[in-house]
Amino acid sequence: MPIDSFSAGKIYRTSLSNEVVKEIRKMILTGTIKPGQRINEVHLARDLQVSRGPVREALLMLKNEGLVTHEVNRGATVSILSARDAYEIYTFRAMLEVNAIEMGLENLQDEHLQALSHLLERFAQSVQEANAEELIACDIEFHKVIVGLSKHSRLIQAHSQMDSQVGAMFLTIANELPKRVNRVVEIHQILYDALASRDKEKIIQELNMHYLSTLKELESKLKEAHG
Amino acid sequence: MPIDSFSAGKIYRTSLSNEVVKEIRKMILTGTIKPGQRINEVHLARDLQVSRGPVREALLMLKNEGLVTHEVNRGATVSILSARDAYEIYTFRAMLEVNAIEMGLENLQDEHLQALSHLLERFAQSVQEANAEELIACDIEFHKVIVGLSKHSRLIQAHSQMDSQVGAMFLTIANELPKRVNRVVEIHQILYDALASRDKEKIIQELNMHYLSTLKELESKLKEAHG
DNA sequence: AACATGAAAACTGTTAACACTTATTTGGGG
DNA sequence: CCCCAAATAAGTGTTAACAGTTTTCATGTT
């Protein structure tokens, strides 16, 4: 049962495995399957009306996103992200973004600032609509623009490899988004201003601030959730 | 046909896919299959006396190591590493190692220095024996110790994800190893001395030097090979 | 001779059945 | 009643056959 994805009239060919990846990723990020839960290939395949081959390939890809862990002869389980993981994810992303700025700030064009500005509007709107999914997408997109300035594909790839895990972190605290959410927009506004100033030291300082505060807010939640 | 790997009497269970990964990786790193060459799943499976399932899974894993690229309905191709790739690989590794030192130099124990010292001996010996494979293994191991100081698993993982690509780079210039090879040992000796001094600034400076010179030596070769 | 066209071959993507491993249940002995 | 062991069920790993796509090759036309 091969699948074609349609988008604006143009046909993009994709494999079932890739579609299954999206499906499972969504299940994990929306909490349909929960951290620590084992993933049954047969059941999942049947639910998705697909055979086990694509499911296995999809699980391998999700393993590389860090959403899933794997043991031989025991299969895949949804990753549990600890406070330590949160620390690693955010410090590493901060590190990558700081280095991206250091090596590529001169690539910052007005178009980038426009794109970021537009993202801030989407941010604000998704807050009003209490649309967590959209909020996360904006956050990820925002930081993707920053690392993109480096034009360093391996740096960019290492960064985006953690996108899903960032999404999963958000999920962990999703129940109390409303209170925190306004600060997120504020914080990104500050980052935007720093970028617009094109002052390298300032940007780097704000980046570190940004992630430090994000981490602070997250860690207490995570510790009470599961060590 | 499930396979068990034996090692020093103890039995480690592993999957066929993992064995196949090792096999294909070896083929790529020894030049049995060459950059740009397409990988035929059926032929490869037959050669390895295995079915296509494990081969496909292995190719997925090798894709994440950067040794292989993949197009839907066209299968896998051995990655071609350009001068730009060399630049990215070495600048990114340098960046990761510098940050590892910055966040984890205080974790440097005498045991680490002993291990590094031992590696320098292995280095020297593999030079004498003109054992390129061993030389590469030492180089990778040496730098693994450095990033290991960070105790930051995501940083470590991002670094080791490029190990195979470093091996592939070496391969590209393997024909003229002899001349260059003595410098490699020298350079690592300098790095070792810097580490032994525990002087953070000095270590960072030497790391940057290290990769700069490695890159210089490589780039000319790579450009003449394939853009 | 160059080019387009369509059939055939080769190859990847997917499926379903088989083999082996792990988890669970059941029954018997302490 | 609890614990252990054998039998059984459930699950992952692997294989082989089928389906659809890409590539190659031959044929006919200009």
Q: Residue B30: give its domain's CATH number.
A: 1.10.10.10
CA of B54 to C1' of C5 (A): 39
pLDDT at A84: 92
Same domain, A103 and A55: no
Strand nucleotide closest to residue B73 (CA to C1')? C12
The pLDDT of residue B41 is 98
B4: Cβ under 7 Å from strand D? no
Same domain, A203 and A111: yes
> What would the mean pLDDT of B10-30 be, rounded to a whole number?
87
User: Which residue, B187, B211, B218, is CA-closest to B96?
Assistant: B211
**Distance between CA atoms of A223 and A84, rounded to whole angstroms?**
9
Q: State whether B96 and B35 are in the same domain.
A: no
What average pLDDT does the structure give for chain A? 89
Share of chain B above pLDDT 70, in %: 88
Residues A38 and A121 in one domain: no
Joined tokens for residue A39: 């993933």
Do B95 and B131 lie in one domain? The reply is: yes
Residue A127's pLDDT band, with cuts at 50, 70 and 90, is confident
Reported as type and span, the H/E element at residue B50 is none
Q: Is the pLDDT of residue B226 over 60?
A: no
* pLDDT value of position B217: 78
**B85 in Cβ contact with B165 (< 8 Å):** yes
CATH number of the domain to which B189 belongs = 1.20.120.530
**Which residues are A75's β-sheet partners?**
A71
Query: In this structure, are A120 and A150 located in the same domain?
Result: yes
Q: A130 falls in which pLDDT band (50, 70, 90)?
A: confident
**pLDDT on residue A94:** 97
Last residue of a domain, one of A41, A59, A78: A78
Are residue B91 and residue B196 in the same domain, yes or no?
yes
Could you tell me if B91 and B210 are in contact, meaning their C-beta atoms sit under 8 angstroms apart? no
Give the range among A98-107, A128-137, B15-24 with minimum mean pLDDT: A128-137
Report, as an integer, the average pLDDT of A8-29.
Answer: 82
pLDDT at B110: 97
Q: How far is the CA of A37 from the C1' of D5 (A)?
A: 29
Q: Which two tokens stand for residue A227?
A: 């060590």
| Nearest-CA residue relative to C1' of C21 | A73
B81-125 pLDDT tens trace:
998 999 999 999 999 999 999 999 999 999 999 999 999 999 899
Residue B142 has a CB neighbour count (10 Å cut-off) of 18
Same domain for A165 and A89? yes
Asked if residue A72 and residue A100 are part of one domain, the reply reads no
Task: Kindly state whether residues B29 and B107 are assigned to the same domain.
Answer: no
Residue A135 domain boundaries: 83-226
Q: Do A72 and B14 touch (CB under 8 A)?
A: yes
What is the per-residue pLDDT for B170? 83
Output the pLDDT for position A224: 65
Q: Which of residues 32-91 of B touch strand D (CB under 7 A)?
A: 50-54, 57, 73-74
* A101: pLDDT strictly greater than 60: yes
Residue B1, pLDDT above cutoff 50:
no
Amino acid in the structure at residue B218: L
Q: Which of residues 21-40 of A touch strand D (CB under 7 A)?
A: 38-40
Q: What is the pLDDT of residue B104?
A: 97
Query: B-chain residues within 8 Å CB-CB of A58?
Result: none
Q: Does residue A4 register a pLDDT over 60?
A: no
Same-domain status, A92 and A69: no
What is the structure's pLDDT at B176? 62
Residue at which a domain ends, from B78, B107, B133: B78
Report whether pLDDT(B207) > 70: yes
C-alpha B36/C-alpha B14 separation (Å) is 30
The count of domains in chain A is: 2
Q: Which residues of A touch B156 (CB under 8 A)?
A: none
Instruction: Please report the number of interchain residue pairs, chain A to chain B, with beta-carbon separation below 8 angstroms.
Output: 53
pLDDT per position as a tens digit, B140-191: 999 999 999 999 999 999 999 999 999 998 877 765 656 677 788 889 999 9
Q: How confident is the model at residue A132 (pLDDT cuts 50, 70, 90)?
A: confident
First to last CA, chain B: 43
Domain-terminating residue out of B78, B93, B120:
B78
Question: Which pLDDT score is estimated for B51?
Answer: 98
DSSP code of residue A28: H
pLDDT given at position B225: 59
pLDDT at A223: 66
Per-residue pLDDT at B182: 78
Q: Which of A38, A104, A101 is nearest to A70 (CA)?
A: A38
A110 and A210 housed in the same domain: yes
Kindly state the percentage of chain A with pLDDT values over 70. Answer: 89
